[in-house]
Amino acid sequence: MHPVLEDLIALLTLEQIEDNIFRGDSRDLGSPQVFGGQVLGQALSAAQLTVEGRVAHSLHGYFLRRGDNASPIVYEVDRSRDGGSFSNRRVVAIQHGRPILNLAASFQVAEAGLEHQASMPDVPGPEKLRALDELARDLPAGVPMKLRRFLTEKRPFEFRPVRPINFTERKKLPPESYVWIRAVDELPDSPTLHQNLLAYVSDYELLGASTLPHQLSYVADNVIMASLDHALWFHRELRMDRWHLYAIDSPNASGARGFSRGQFFADDGRLVASTSQEGLVRVVDPDRVKHRSDPKSQS
């Protein structure tokens, strides 16, 4: 297996340290805090370890504090309910004695029922598009090295955007995006693993759709973005080592918050999952950002 993907699977595989208590490591992806998708995927993994014979169908999480990349995260699971068909779990992710995420997850015994779904958007397939790391090679010289490294680093997933983001030009765009996503190598036949990986990757691109109509420049370094809450529903079985179209739209931005929705379509057209997220989107004076980041201003 590709080493980067193998490392992600190891990251989502938690250590049990007590009944209903688990611990996971973190990875530094170049941001000041732990990637939100990592905490979601690990919290779901913790909940899954306390459930048998049932598969997750939904989760709802609130991000409370920034996670520390240099420290492990402890996950405490409350077995709220085990009914005839459904089980519910509450998970608290803790670092340095304080919660950084509250999550609720629901699990169901597999059963047949009514079937209908939205249609997959009519967009070019992944074979006609360039990967994100290939597009990053064409970035102009003025793009900061930190952003360049973030776009070109090796990832456990391949991303092929239908409409590549222009990181240097301020251009007003519709609040929607489409990106094809696939794990970089074949994966084991584990439904829980594929759900954990989708939870992890669902935090990519989602909130950014709410900024597209506002002609923001990511190079200017005056846009503060942070996930506040995240919801995810699993509709059908999925395999993250096959292409999925992540179709995202943002119906609202107000009060320094952006709201986005997403749908994951398998390459055969099946709608396998839906997600939504609200996050902080704050535009500030660049001089104020520099002042806050200057060590002298903290003294």
Catalytic (active site) residue 133: no
DSSP assignments along 49-85, one per residue: TT--S-EEEEEEEEE-SPPPTTS-EEEEEEEEEE-SS
- Tell me how far the alpha carbon of residue 299 is from its chain's centroid: 35
Catalytic (active site) residue 267: no
Alpha-carbon span 277 to 37, nearest angstrom: 12
Which class for 228: exposed (0-12), middle (13-18), buried (19 or more C-beta within 10 A)? middle
Q: Which among 25, 20, 22 has a CA at the least distance from the CA of 10?
A: 25
Q: Determine the straight-line distance between the first and last CA of the chain, rounded to whole angstroms.
A: 48
Pair type for strands 86-95 and 73-82: antiparallel
Of all residues in the chain, what percent are helix, strand and coil, respectively (each to 5)? Answer: 25, 35, 40
Sorted by sequence, the CB contacts under 8 Å of residue 133 that are 6+ apart come out as 151, 152, 153, 155
Structure tokens at 232: 């995810």
Active-site entry in 87, 95, 202, 277: 277
Note whether 27 and 36 are within 8 A (CB): no
Active-site entry in 202, 227, 260, 263: 227
Catalytic (active site) residue 203: yes
- Tell me how far the alpha carbon of residue 110 is from its chain's centroid: 26
H and E: helices and strands count for the chain: 6, 12
Note whether 50 and 106 are within 8 A (CB): no
Active-site entry in 48, 203, 263, 274: 203
Structure tokens at 38: 């990592």
Note whether 34 and 71 are within 8 A (CB): no
Active-site positions read 203, 227, 277
